[in-house]
Amino acid sequence: MPDIDALRVVTHKHWVADGLSVNTIGVVVESDLGFDMPPPGRAFWCPTEWAARAGLSMQAPGPHWLSSAPWWALHRRIETVPLADLRSGAVRWTVPRFAKVAEAKPQNLPAGVRSTLSGFLVEAAAAGLPDGSWIQLTTPTSFDLEVRCFVLDGRVVAHSPYLVNGQTWHEGMSINRFDAARAVLFAGRVADAVPGPRGYVLDVGRTNGIWSVVEANPAWSSAFYGADIDGVVVTVLAANGADPTGEWDWRPDAWLIQRAARQRPLHESVETSPSSHRASAGCHRLPE
């Protein structure tokens, strides 16, 4: 992995850069609105839509990671299929399914339970979703506690609750420390057993006392809530750049590619434009 000069945070949510800047491992954090082409020597925390537009090489679990995980990790049926198969009738459903675009978040096609396939297809058409988009279909499941785990080299290095009884977690909420420990233990077992990229986010949830994987996502675009910042930062850095084997290279969803093609090109980078949160001088080497 090459040296980097800074971690550039591309979002209008200034608190993301503020939060990452308190790292104690010497990583300089830059805040950027994303109008420019990325300069060399940067790692990124950014939305997937911007990463597709900028043509970034990143790592991610991919759309099929969840549906290929073993039953003991999921405890429910999960399918990942191209939208074309739903439109052609090759894949059908006759009972309500939790449906979502596997690796994109169209605002007018949110993840949720759909009663009928026909209704979902109407929504997908209205959202302009192309045939090549991957759709995840899951048995509807309610979790009373959901915990986000940042995984680096098969080990959980940071974690935080993010949903408690359906409510977004905040610092005023407290959870039983034994519940958090059980979540981390389960996530670590999954990360050890199921191959994945060097760095990624693994969300786990509890229902009826049983822990299951909720989903896996790119570390470089995931909120970190109350997780240990140093663990978050090293995981994000590890997920930047291409995977040497190619297996875990991030491949933007067809909807993201379609969106990127319709947008104006990014401007050439102006080095003075982003604001920097200086954790220390010098550059930082990505974790080996």
pLDDT of the residue at 1: 46
Q: Where are the beta strands (DSSP E) in the chain?
A: 3-4, 6-10, 29-32, 42-45, 78-82, 97-101, 112-114, 134-138, 145-152, 155-164, 167-168, 199-207, 210-217, 275-277, 284-285
Evaluate if residue 279 carries a pLDDT over 50: no
pLDDT of the residue at 118: 95
End-to-end CA separation in angstroms for the chain:
7
How deeply is 276 buried, as exposed, middle or buried, from its count of CB atoms within 10 A (0-12, 13-18, 19+)? middle
Q: What average pLDDT score do residues 193-211 get?
A: 98
pLDDT of the residue at 171: 82
Q: Which residues pair with 216 in a beta bridge?
A: 202
pLDDT of the residue at 2: 54
Instruction: Name the residue ranges covered by the structural domains of the chain.
Output: 3-60+241-285, 77-138, 145-222+234-239
For the chain, what percent of residues have pLDDT higher than 90? 81
Evaluate if residue 272 carries a pLDDT over 60: no
- pLDDT tens, residue by residue, 53-62: 999 999 999 9
Q: CA 279 to CA 256: how far, in whole Å? A: 33
| Phi-psi label, residue 75: left if phi above 0, alpha if psi -120 to 50, beta otherwise | left
One-letter amino acid for residue 141 of the chain? T
pLDDT of the residue at 285: 42
Q: CA 146 to CA 164: how far, in whole Å? A: 7
Q: CA 237 to CA 50: how far, in whole Å? A: 17
- State how far Cα 69 lies from the chain centre: 17
SS3 148: strand
Residue whose pair of structure tokens reads 């940042």 in the numeric block: 150
Q: Name which CATH class applies to 145-222+234-239.
A: alpha beta
Please give the angle made by the CA atoms of 278, 279 and 283, to the nearest 5 degrees: 85
pLDDT of the residue at 284: 42
Evaluate if residue 131 carries a pLDDT over 60: yes
Evaluate if residue 90 carries a pLDDT over 80: yes
pLDDT of the residue at 80: 97
The mean pLDDT value of the chain amounts to 91
Whether the Cβ atoms of residue 187 and residue 204 lie closer than 8 Å to each other: yes
**Other CB atoms within 10 Å distance of the CB of residue 199:** 27
HSE-up of residue 41 (Cα within 13 Å, Cβ side)? 10
Evaluate if residue 280 carries a pLDDT over 60: no
Evaluate if residue 286 carries a pLDDT over 50: no
pLDDT of the residue at 179: 94
Q: What average pLDDT score do residues 122-136 get?
A: 97
Q: What average pLDDT score do residues 245-250 get?
A: 97
HSE-up of residue 51 (Cα within 13 Å, Cβ side)? 29
Mean pLDDT is lowest, of 54-58, 106-110, 191-195, 269-273, for 269-273
Q: What average pLDDT score do residues 141-170 get?
A: 95
pLDDT of the residue at 258: 96
Spatial CA neighbour of 8 closest among 281, 287, 285, 275: 275
pLDDT of the residue at 278: 45
